């Protein structure tokens, strides 16, 4: 099953993609994670992406399309995948149409106000990428999975979060109509608890919990 997770920053794409990928035994392809790794490793792509990410803007389509083409050609994508954070513009969606057949587009819908609160409290593990919210950590500062230190993403600062939301509404939200027209879009309320959201996604995919 080839699946797209669409939704604004903080909607829970990463949180849910990790769980659904584990349940279906398919890879999670997060373009945000790929770019952050490239930045950490100081690669050419990472250097190109840094200023865009830190300003809350999208990196240029041609950069990201090449990354995704290369990733989808890998062996582990043969039985399906979840695209988490791609496509994010109409040209990206059109490029994807030329290389993949998408089965489901899951839109996670959450109000902006809730998103700002979620992102300002998000903490992520620098090593394994596990995601938490301050409200669930009870003062702990290390990852429950691997023990590594938890950090706040640089682009989760209040100012950058607002810029990312603006970019979402202007450049990514048009994809809702794009996939609706193709009959692929399923909208899920992402403001319910994590377990209810998970169950709703499995149901939309036609998978037994
Ligand atoms: P990316 O890393 O993809 O960021 P994003 O889309 O802004 O989304 P986030 O990762 O911030 O949110 P999420 O939906 O994954 O939420 P999460 O599960 O963590 O991209 C970063 C940057 O890279 C972009 O700004 C851009 O510059 C660049 N980029 C990436 N892809 C690109 C592309 N295709 N084209 C161009 N540029 C690209 O959850 C958030 C918080 O909420 C957590 O604390 C979590 O614990 C909590 N939470 C989750 N679900 C729930 C729930 N149901 N109830 C309560 N809390 C919840
Ligand atoms: Mg994410």
* C-alpha 26 to ligand 1 mean position (Å): 19
The mean pLDDT value of the chain amounts to: 96
pLDDT of residue 208: 83
User: Measured from the CB, is residue 39 less than 6 Å from ligand 1?
Assistant: no
Name the active-site residue from 36, 118, 122, 123.
122
Residue 11's SS3 state is: coil
CA angle (33 as vertex; 95, 53 as ends), nearest 5: 80
Helices (H), 42-151: 44-55, 61-72, 90-97, 112-120, 134-137
Cβ neighbours of residue 80 closer than 8 Å, sequence gap 6 or more: 1, 2, 3, 24, 26, 103
Is 88 an active-site residue?
A: yes
Residue 139's SS3 state is: coil
Nearest ligand, measured from the Cα of 9:
1
pLDDT over 80 (residue 209): no
pTM: 0.96
pLDDT band at 185 (very low <50, low <70, confident <90, very high): very high
> What average pLDDT does the segment 39-53 reach?
96
pLDDT of residue 129: 86
pLDDT of residue 126: 87
> What average pLDDT does the segment 178-201 reach?
97
User: Measured from the CB, is residue 129 less than 6 Å from ligand 1?
Assistant: no
| pLDDT above 70: percentage of residues in the chain | 100
pLDDT of residue 201: 98
pLDDT of residue 29: 98
Mutating to test ligand 1, I would choose from 12, 95, 107 the residue with most ligand atoms within 8 A of its C-beta, which is 12
Q: What is the pLDDT of residues 62-111, one digit of tens each?
A: 999 999 999 999 999 999 999 999 999 999 999 999 999 999 999 999 99
Q: What is the pLDDT of residues 125-177, one digit of tens each?
A: 988 889 999 999 999 999 999 999 999 999 999 999 999 999 999 999 999 99
Q: Which of 43, 101, 98, 27 is nearest to 65 (CA)?
A: 98
Crossing angle of helices 90-97 and 61-72, in 10° steps, is 30
Identify the CATH number of the domain defined by range 2-26+79-111+166-205. Answer: 3.40.50.300
pLDDT band at 200 (very low <50, low <70, confident <90, very high): very high
Domain edges within the chain: 2-26+79-111+166-205
């Amino acid at each position: 099953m080839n699946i797209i997770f669409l939704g604004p920053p903080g909607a829970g794409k990463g949180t849910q993609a990790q769980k659904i990928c584990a349940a279906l035994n398919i890879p999670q392809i997060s373009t945000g994670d790929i770019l952050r790794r490239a930045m950490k490793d100081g690669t050419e792509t990472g250097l190109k992406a840094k200023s865009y990410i830190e300003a809350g803007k999208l990196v240029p389509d041609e950069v990201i399309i090449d990354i995704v083409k290369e990733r989808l050609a890998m062996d582990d994508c043969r039985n399906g995948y979840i695209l988490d954070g791609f496509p994010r513009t109409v040209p990206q969606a059109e490029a994807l149409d030329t290389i993949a057949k998408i089965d489901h587009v899951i839109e996670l819908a959450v109000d902006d106000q809730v998103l700002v609160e979620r992102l300002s409290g998000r903490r992520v593990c620098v090593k394994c990428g596990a995601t938490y919210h301050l409200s669930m950590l009870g003062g702990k500062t290390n990852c429950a999975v691997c023990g590594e230190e938890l950090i706040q993403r640089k682009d989760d600062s209040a100012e950058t979060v607002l810029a990312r939301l603006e970019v979402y509404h202007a450049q990514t939200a048009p994809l809702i109509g794009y996939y609706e027209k193709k009959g692929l879009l399923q909208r899920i309320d992402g403001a319910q608890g994590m377990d209810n959201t998970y169950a709703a996604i499995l149901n939309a995919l036609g998978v037994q919990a």
